[in-house]
Amino acid sequence: MAVTFSIQAKVDDFELKVAAQFKKGITGVYGPSGSGKTTLLKTLAGFIEPAEGSIIVHDQVYFSSEKGINLALENRRIGMVWQEALLFPHMNVEENILYGRGKKCLASFSASVIDIFDIRSLLKRMPDNLSGGEKQRVAIARALLHEPDLLLMDEPVSALDRPARLKILSYLQIINQQLKIPICYVSHSISELMFLCHEVLVLDSGRRLCFDVPEKVLINEYELSRADEEFENILELPVKILKRDEKVAELDFGGGVLRTTFQRNDSPQILKIGIKARDILIALDQIHGISARNKMPAVIEKIVQVGDLVMLHCRVNDSYLWAEITPGSFRELKLHTSQIVYLIIKSRSVRILG
């Protein structure tokens, strides 16, 4: 299952000219404002007709200038989710979800989607009574009941607060794993794309800048220098032990233990956590007599220098973290690739995200 396209499209004075192949995982689309991200999605969906080229989704030709084929939007099995949920205000959640449901959509599939997005308790509620995160979950469920061969998402979580954003990302991982639907996901967040996507297409001025696995195309001087957020490592880790008397959770990380503060009453098996790159300290030797609860050996596998910071890609057994230090510290420590260092992280710097 793949989505292959080579298109040239013009909207007013802007020209998009790009080719790529999206596979069955989650593909990110990244770039500055005006780079052509939304234009690409609208062209794949059928809102914009290319001047030339082709769009093929799972061996079905949606567009071909050579063969004179241009399937109408309603005949393309594509689901779309925008930044705003765009639910029908006069319909309740159930009616919104079932609107436009595929003719062959089984009741069991509808029930599965409703359960995946945990919206069964919302079915009789009206959109005005939903939170932003709930509205987006309903919008995505509605798009899935169209039984799409491809799901296009244009910054679907950018208007939500962080807990709601990360909850949606977890749902997207589940539907990609369980329903095997390719997802094309537009975002401005490097951290989100690193966590969610199998590959990322970077656009600039309507052209393909690069297309590869996230760490190769996003963690570099050019992209980090123009990012509008601090980089955060986002991980999902199994819970080994909950020490409720100490209000600490011990997580399985790279075969070792990563500790974080934990004050909830539930007993999760997996926790989604975030560690900002700037909150990781680097030491050349093991340090004792220090309050930080996390001290672990690591190997520096990659070094990226970005203006007034240096990013270190550190391997902890079979897991990875990005750490950020200043150029001055980098020079003083005389760091280099393949070097063994120690990562020092306060338990409070390991933030529970979900």
CATH code of 242's domain: 2.40.50.100
Are residues 112 and 67 both part of a single domain? yes
DSSP H/E element including 2: none
Are residues 181 and 63 both part of a single domain? yes
Are residues 248 and 101 both part of a single domain? no
CA distances from 263 to 129, 215, 258, 266, 349 (A): 30, 33, 16, 9, 15
Are residues 195 and 288 both part of a single domain? no
Name the domain boundary from 166, 199, 229.
Answer: 229
Residues 6+ apart with CB under 8 A from 7: 16, 17, 18, 19, 43, 50, 52, 53, 54, 55, 63
Are residues 191 and 240 both part of a single domain? no
Number of domains the chain is built from: 2
Are residues 96 and 199 both part of a single domain? yes
Are residues 209 and 106 both part of a single domain? yes
Are residues 211 and 120 both part of a single domain? yes
For residue 119, the enclosing domain spans 3-229
Are residues 182 and 211 both part of a single domain? yes
Are residues 145 and 58 both part of a single domain? yes
CA distances from 206 to 11, 15, 31, 98, 195 (A): 11, 6, 10, 36, 25
Q: pLDDT tens digits for the chain (354 residues)?
A: 689 999 999 998 999 999 999 887 899 999 988 999 999 999 999 999 999 999 999 889 999 999 999 999 888 989 888 888 788 899 999 888 888 676 666 666 778 888 888 888 999 999 999 988 888 888 888 888 888 889 999 988 887 777 777 778 888 888 888 888 889 999 988 888 988 899 999 999 999 999 998 888 887 767 776 666 778 888 889 999 998 888 889 999 987 899 999 888 888 898 888 899 999 999 999 888 888 889 999 999 989 887 788 989 999 988 889 999 999 999 999 999 999 999 999 999 998 876
136: CATH:
3.40.50.300
Are residues 216 and 263 both part of a single domain? no
What is the 3-state secondary structure of 168-207?
HHHHHHHHHHHHCCCEEEECCCHHHHHHHCCEEEEEECCE
Name the domain boundary from 229, 249, 276.
Answer: 229
Are residues 195 and 341 both part of a single domain? no
Name the domain boundary from 201, 229, 257.
Answer: 229
